[in-house]
Structure formats: C-alpha cells, structure tokens
Amino acid sequence: MLQMEKWKMVLVMLVCVLGIAYATPNMLSKNHLQWLQAHAPSWFPTETVNLGLDLQGGSHLLLQADIKSVIAERMDGLKDGARSELRKKGIGYIGLTAMRDGITFRLRNPAKDHDAAYAIARDLERSATVNIADDGTVTLKLGEKALKDIETHVIDQSIEIVRRRVDETGTKEPLIQRSGDDRIVLELPGIDNPEHVKELLKQTAKMSFHLLDENATSGQVGPDSMKVKLRDEPGRTIIVRKKAPISGEMLTDAEPSFDMNGQPVVSFKLDSLGAKRFCDITRANVGKPFAIVLDNEVITYPRINTPICGGNGQISGGFDVKGATDLALLLRAGALPATLSFVEERTVGPTLGSDSVAAGKTAAMYAFAFVFILIWASYGLFGLFANIALALNMVFIFALLSMLQATLTLPGIAGIILTIGIAVDANVLVYERIREELREGRSVISAIDKGYLHAKATIIDANLTTLIVAIILFSFGTGPVKGFAVSMTIGIITSIFCALMVTRMMVLTWLRKTRPSTLDL
C-alpha cells in the first residue's frame, strides 16, 4: 500500500501545479487580472470563478408569458384550417367560431355531411375530442391535458429563447428558470441596468414574408388577408396575404452589415426549403412588392426586381447600427412563442454582494484556522501533512470551479466551508487506524501500511454516501440548492484525492528519508 510508482508521484505533483495555476487568478486584484489576461499566452489559465447574483449584485427580473394569447392564436389557426378544409370539400356550414379551448360550427346539411365533417375535425387536432350534435353543431374541444401540454411547451421554448438572447449579450452565467405555471425568473449577475436586455425580451421577433394583396380595394380585408401597420410610418397600414410562404423558422443566420450606400442592414440566410421558396416566389412575382413583417409590423416592403436565389438576402428599414445589431441578434436567437411582460424587477446592490463575500471569507478562514490547529495538535507532523493537503484541497476546489466556469453563490460558499470539515475526515480515519495498529505492537511501516489499507474502503464509502446526497440535491433542487450541491460535490472528489494520494505521497516521502523506528502519533 505504501508503494507508489514514480509516474504516480509525478502525476500527483503535476495535478498540484495545475491546480495552483488555475486557482491563482482568483487571488489577483482586478488590475493584475486584466494585465494577466492581456499578456498571458492563450493556453495560460486566466479564468476566475463567476460570482452569482447574491455575491456580485445585479438584476432580478420576473417575466410572465401571455399563454392565453398563444392558445387563442392556436384556436384561430384551427378555425382557419377548418374553413379551408370545409370549402375544399364543398361542405356547407354557418357560425364558425373559435372558443377558449376549441372551435364550433353548424352544418347546413347534417345528414349528408356528418361523416366528412367529423373526419375533417379529427384531422385538424388529433388530441381534441370531436362531437356532432343532432342539429349538426360540430364541436372540437381540447382537454385540460392538451391545454397544459401547450402551456408547458410555450414556457420551455420561451426559456430556451430567453437564454439564447441573454447569452448573445455577453452576460455571464444568467439564472433562467420556470416559476409557477406561466412565469420565468431571470437573474443577471453584474448587471445593474438591464434595460437593453429588457428591450430585447419585449419583442417576440416573429418574422415572416408576405405578398401584398393586390385584390384588396378601399381597405377591405378578405378572409385570406390581413391589415398590418407600417413601422416607420405611424398611422399607415397595408394589406397583405395572410399566408406567409417564408417564416423566421427558416432563417439559419442573421448578421448586421452595410448596403452599397453605407446604410446599416441585416443580412440573412435561409435554409434549403426557405431558399427554394424564396427563389420560386421572387421568380413568379417580379415587379411586385414583398412585405417583411416583424411582430405584426411591416419593416419594409421592397419591390422584387429580379429573382433572388441562393437563400441570401438583406433587410433594410432605416436602421442605425445598434438597431441592425439587435434585430440580427433577435432573428438568430429565434422567435418567442409568447409575448413576455415584466411583472417584477429588483436590483441587488454590489454592497450586499461584497458583504456576503466578506462574511463567507471570514467564515472560511475561521473554519480553516480551527481545523488546522485541532488536527496539528492532535496528530503532530502527520497533522501538518493533513493540513497541507487541506490547503491544496481548497486550491483544487477553486481551480475546478474556474475551469468549469461555475457560478459561486452564497450557498456555494457554505458548501465549501462544509467541505473543510469533510476533507480532514479521511485523514482522521487513516491516522486513528494507524494508532490502533501501533497499539497492537506493529512496526511504524507496517502500522502505516495497514492504516491506509484498511481505512481506504471506509473513506470511499463515507464520501460516496455524501456524494449521493449532493447528486440528489443537484437533481431536484433549484438555483441556490444546486450551487451548494456543486461546490460540495467538487469538494468531496478533491478531498478523496488529497487524502488517498497527496497525503500518502507526503507520508511515504517522509518515511523514505527518515526511516523512523518509533512514531509519536
């Protein structure tokens, strides 16, 4: 057990050096860290642990998704689909209406069209129930489970889009999670004025391309058309065809750029299906205007001069550079499935964060000092070895947090402080076992050998049970609880490494150099 191959010793020392290198940036002042990041080679570790909202301050936002509008839009879609299919089949009907959870209409000739109408209704929404009354009233209704599934899908998709948009702004480690049935919590560490982020999140960014309705006269809107406002001309509207042959989902990329006149524009690229449709539509409608609609407002409606094939195009509309950059960001991130409104906003000041960091540092120093003195007083030189391993254990924790770019919160600091006690527990098990072997009359080398041999399984079992608890906390917990679980998990892993490798290497090196005949432990 006391034998350690040279390559293992070299590996342990290499890990220690790397740990110190990755943890060191966290000890530097802001100016020194900036100098290091500017002058160090690209491979040199310069990352630090990210501080959470409770430590560095920032903004806390609570957003609410307009689920009712999404469901109403879904019902309108079912109504339009029913109208189209009924016309296609030549089925007479009256009173086609969208309800909160479905649609209804009445057949003119129930006896003749009963089966065909039922088939159409079933095909419109497979998860809905369809009922046809004796008077020919057809009701297509979604159940509570189907409505709940829509709600869950909208919130999950909204969280993902919010994450993409916030990430594009360069915000480090935002916390984005669901709250209740229709709300999203957004925490932005280090941001005191989140106005830019709020502006980005207010827009759903639903973009579509529409041909103008040339048959519309005197502002009359037909069933297949819709009236849309012009963004840059308040009070003016144009009538476009309701069906959008190209939608924002077909965009694969969007970047701000400049046109030949030096004006900011947004260059976009379509996927293969969008590129084909764009080419076909522009070829068939040369000389006609083509409206680009964003969030129910027409950005621009240029005339098609030549067919546009290849899937690339530009959106112009009197943008400034910031406007073009923001629109490109929104289009890249994707459209929100529902409008988000801000129901709560709180700012956590940096003073509160610095007080929390200072309190955490003080608690950690006191914990480390008391453990250091107790272990040294209890085990002498071997206690010193354990304390050196404890210091390295703290180094490894911050090194791994920096490498993983994890976010450290106040509960995370609590987990690190708890790890200080857990870290020396393994050494205590080994040293107490060595004492027992010495009392039984074994030699120093034999006692140490048996101590490490028999304590190894106990150390692994004890830490494994704690690790299981940490994994459960991470799996089922939220924000702060997960932060605690992450720091504790890292601490458990590093403490096992320090106890079974680092401390043992120091003990083995001491034995080889001194070859003691007795041991005062």
- Give me the half-sphere count of Cα atoms (radius 13 Å) on the Cβ side of residue 162: 30
- In 393-492 the beta strands, taken as DSSP E runs, fall at 407-408
For residues 451 and 365, is the Cβ–Cβ distance under 8 A? no
CA 459 to centroid of chain Cα atoms: 36
For position 47, what pLDDT does the model report?
Answer: 86
Structural domain harbouring 378: 6-54+351-514
510 and 375 in a single domain? The answer is yes
Residue 412 counted as domain residue: yes
DSSP 59-78: EEEEEEE-HHHHHHHHHHHH
Helix axis angle, 410-439 to 350-403, nearest 10°: 50
Could you say which of 295, 315, 335 is where a domain stops?
Answer: 315
234 and 298 in a single domain? The answer is yes
Residue 344 counted as domain residue: no
30 and 88 in a single domain? The answer is no
CA 18 to centroid of chain Cα atoms: 29
362 and 498 in a single domain? The answer is yes
Could you say which of 291, 315, 339 is where a domain stops?
Answer: 315
DSSP 189-204: ET-S-THHHHHHHH--
- Give me the half-sphere count of Cα atoms (radius 13 Å) on the Cβ side of residue 322: 4
Residue 258 counted as domain residue: yes
221 and 302 in a single domain? The answer is yes
113 and 217 in a single domain? The answer is no
CA gap 172, 406 in Å, rounded: 10
Domain count, the chain: 3
285 and 400 in a single domain? The answer is no
For position 104, what pLDDT does the model report?
Answer: 92
> Would you write out the chain's pLDDT as a tens digit for each of its 521 residues?
567 788 888 999 999 999 999 999 988 888 888 888 888 887 888 888 877 777 777 888 899 999 988 888 888 888 888 888 888 889 999 999 988 889 999 999 988 888 898 998 888 888 888 999 988 999 999 888 888 888 888 898 888 888 888 877 766 667 888 888 889 988 888 776 678 788 888 878 788 888 888 776 566 777 778 888 888 788 888 888 888 888 877 888 888 888 888 888 888 888 888 888 888 888 888 888 888 888 888 888 888 878 888 888 887 767 788 888 888 877 787 778 888 898 888 877 666 566 767 787 788 788 888 888 998 998 888 989 999 999 999 999 999 998 888 878 778 888 888 888 888 888 888 898 888 888 888 888 888 888 888 888 888 888 888 899 989 988 887 667 888 888 889 989 998 898 888 998 998 888 888 888 888 77
For position 351, what pLDDT does the model report?
Answer: 60
- In CATH, what number is assigned to the domain containing residue 254? 3.30.1360.200
376 and 453 in a single domain? The answer is yes
Residue 364 counted as domain residue: yes
Residue 97 counted as domain residue: yes
421 and 483 in a single domain? The answer is yes
Closest CA to 104 of 89, 91, 121: 121
Question: 51 is written with which tokens?
Answer: 């501080």
Length of the chain: 521
Q: Is 349 helix (H, G, I), strand (E, B) or coil?
A: coil
Q: Is 98 helix (H, G, I), strand (E, B) or coil?
A: strand
For position 187, what pLDDT does the model report?
Answer: 84
For position 127, what pLDDT does the model report?
Answer: 82
410 and 439 in a single domain? The answer is yes
Residue 331 counted as domain residue: no
378 and 484 in a single domain? The answer is yes
498 and 382 in a single domain? The answer is yes
**Residue at token pair 């509570």:** 144
Flag whether the pTM goes above 0.95: no
Q: Which amino acid is at 136?
A: G
Residue 366 counted as domain residue: yes
For position 15, what pLDDT does the model report?
Answer: 93
Residue 341 counted as domain residue: no
- How much helix, strand and coil, in percent to the nearest 5, is found in the chain? 55, 20, 25
- In CATH, what number is assigned to the domain containing residue 120? 3.90.1070
Could you say which of 287, 315, 343 is where a domain stops?
Answer: 315
For position 2, what pLDDT does the model report?
Answer: 61
